[in-house]
Structure 1
Amino acid sequence: MTTTSPPPELTWSLRGRAPHDIPVLAAGQEVTPEWAWGGATGAGVRVCVVDSGIERDHPLVGRVDGSYVVLKDEDGIRVEPTGTGDTCGHGTACGGIVRRTAPDCELYSVRVLGERFSGTGEVLLAGLRWAVEQRFDVINLSLSTTRAQFTDALRTLADEAFFGRSVIVASAHNTPVESFPWRFSSVLSVGSHQEEDPDLFLYNPNPPVEFFAPGQNVTVPWLGGRTIRTTGNSFATPYMAGMAARVLSKHPRMTAFQLKSVLYLAASNVTVSRGAR
């Protein structure tokens, strides 16, 4: 199969540039962090991490309200409850970041990855479809697939989530390749920045990646109750999922479209002017 190189202006993560290098002038009503999520902790919001599972009783994750696994065998593909935890640490890291950002959210896990980060597009699609069908408020997907045959199904599912008020927060690939579903406008797509401020997120004036969040050289929970320092767009994504949970906790009637607009207007590099064009 021949792969087409994406356009050179496509940005996956923010490296070598600081927030002042990407100023954005927006027209409309100013949205302050205090109005958007001030005092909110994610209470009443259900967040589902579709990943490698989440280690139960990790001190930096805490309560997991439900754990499920996608199984594929001769009988087909199905989703079942599971008592197992995490197969490789990636999902625990993501779950811990969600918990740190939105400490009182309900946290759920759907395991679609096996050991050594193994997985298939079919299983990923099944896990994401199940999460959308359950109408979770926020779905963290720090994964993507490069397999073009899943593109149409993923796009349909992303649209279904968007109009059903389930916000899919999707990680951009760490390398300059085409992958999905982060490329779809119906998801909230995330890359990482290199700033040290753990609460800083930025809007990208050159999408399709829409937001940059902390994800480079960050400390995250890992297997065995440990922590590690690591880098990747995967770890910026659950930060934005947690922020989405906080906004929805304070403004529970928001649609996915409204939520994306609020996060855009509240980003640190966006200046709102009523006269902007």
Structure 2
Amino acid sequence: MEESIPEVAMNPQLENDLLIVRKIVSIGTGIMLILLAGFLYSVIVGDSLSFVKPRDALIDSEDAYQDLIRMPSGLTGKGVKVCVVDTGIELDHPDLEGYELKGWTDVVQGKTNPYDDNGHGTNMAGILIADGWLDGIAPDVDLYVAKVMQENGSGYEEDVAAGIDWCINMNTNIISLSLGGAPDILPFLNSGGRTIEDAVADATTRGIFVVAAAGNDGGEDDDGDVASPGGERRVICVGGVTQSGGPWAKSSIGNNGGSLFPFQLPRNDPDKKPEVVAPAKEVPVLNNKGTWSSSSGTSAATVFVTGAIALLLEQNPELASNGTSSDVSTIDQVKDWLMQTVSPQESQSGHDNKYGYGLLDIQALLDKAIES
């Protein structure tokens, strides 16, 4: 005969508490499953979270822009020394994993380890050297970075000049100056020290290519000329286009006819400003938080041209400032090739004050160098 086990009465309060706990656990489990399903869907389908990979739209945009400027295969910028003067660089990013800078200087705070407390410098460097979900124009260049701008985007002209001087002392081949075309960078403060124009003149005299942004004040607020130092004769000044190849509305125009105030002589070919245009609207970039996004500005366009020159110098090392034939005339020669190989707008004849001589065509530039 089996003995019955007497039922033990549960405390009503305890039973109610357990019921509440079960409900909380069920709800929490449901939320976790929903989040997990969304995460897996985003990874598999492609519209992923920014800290996992860039959105498909960014990858597609990068492909479209690289097709637009006829990005070649087989060249990576290897052996070419490029110096980016900006807000710094954050190397802790999936698309920069394992990348080693060749040189770093911090004019602002004097820190010995690379950092970017603003983000713009990382945006620009990624266009050049990203090697992951996004692909830079010249990922194998020897990169030097000079931090010259503060966290809020302000800075002093003599600090920028000091950064350029450092690039010169590092014997770099190309100096990339996107600051004039950065969307949130404030005007440089001048305290009477060495000017950016002085430093740029020293660089070009040594045969170092200097690429600079035209600026982003196009439209009603345009001041009538490109941003400094893009107006300097031997600087390659870069305006912006959209993904369709049309001019980006905010890209600054050049004043090439001369003026009395401020005094400026008329500019001649191949030095009319801007010389060339490149991708500027919603360009895919790396962020200093380890994520991805897009950025608009002639600052981005500048880096595309910097990358193009790096590929040119890899193909034709004799053109580099540490090569056998590089001097001021080499810069003039490359600028002439740019003028001849860019793609003008339909019905465009000669130089356009907004569109320059035309849209960057990297493959045509490389072909021209081989023919010459």
TM-score by length of 1: 0.72
| 8 Å contact from structure 1 (residues 54, 95) kept in 2 | yes
Q: Where do residues 105-144 of structure 1 align in structure 2 (5 Å cutoff)?
A: 105-144=141-180
Sort the Cα spacing of 1:58 and 1:258 in 2 relative to 1 into closer, same or farther, 3 A: farther
The offset of 1:160, in angstroms, is 2.0
| 8 Å contact from structure 2 (residues 213, 237) kept in 1 | yes
Q: Where do residues 31-180 of structure 1 align in structure 2 (5 Å cutoff)?
A: 39-62=74-97, 63=99, 64-71=101-108, 82-99=112-129, 100-144=136-180, 153-175=195-217, 176-177=222-223, 179-180=227-228
Higher fraction of helix = 2
| 8 Å contact from structure 1 (residues 49, 108) kept in 2 | yes
| 8 Å contact from structure 1 (residues 215, 232) kept in 2 | yes
Sort the Cα spacing of 1:97 and 1:150 in 2 relative to 1 into closer, same or farther, 3 A: farther
Residues 140-149 or 256-265, more deviating:
140-149
Question: In the comparison of the two structures, how many residue pairs are matched?
Answer: 225
Residues 60-69 or 245-254, more deviating:
60-69
Q: For residue 76 of structure 1, what is the aligned residue in structure 2?
A: none
CA-atom RMSD in angstroms: 2.8
Higher fraction of strand = 1
| 8 Å contact from structure 1 (residues 50, 112) kept in 2 | yes
Sort the Cα spacing of 1:244 and 1:225 in 2 relative to 1 into closer, same or farther, 3 A: same
| 8 Å contact from structure 1 (residues 112, 127) kept in 2 | yes
Asked whether 1:194 is paired with 2:242, we answer yes
337, 358, 361: which is aligned to 1:262?
337
Which ranges in structure 1 are unaligned for 5 or more consecutive residues? Answer: 1-32, 73-79, 198-203, 273-277
Sort the Cα spacing of 1:152 and 1:85 in 2 relative to 1 into closer, same or farther, 3 A: closer
The offset of 1:148, in angstroms, is 7.8
The offset of 1:247, in angstroms, is 0.2
280, 284, 297: which is aligned to 1:219?
284
Q: Secondary structure at the match of 1:115?
A: coil
Q: For residue 182 of structure 1, what is the aligned residue in structure 2?
A: 230
The offset of 1:39, in angstroms, is 3.0
The offset of 1:143, in angstroms, is 1.3
Which ranges in structure 2 are unaligned for 5 or more consecutive residues? Answer: 1-69, 130-135, 181-186, 246-252, 257-271, 320-329, 345-356, 359-363, 365-372
1:81-135 deviations in Å (ceiling 9; x for gaps): 7203111110001101111001111111110011121211121111112212322
Q: Which structure has the higher relative contact order (CA within 8 Å, separation 6+)?
A: 1
The offset of 1:150, in angstroms, is 7.0
CA–CA separation in structure 1 for the residues paired with 2:74 and 2:216: 33
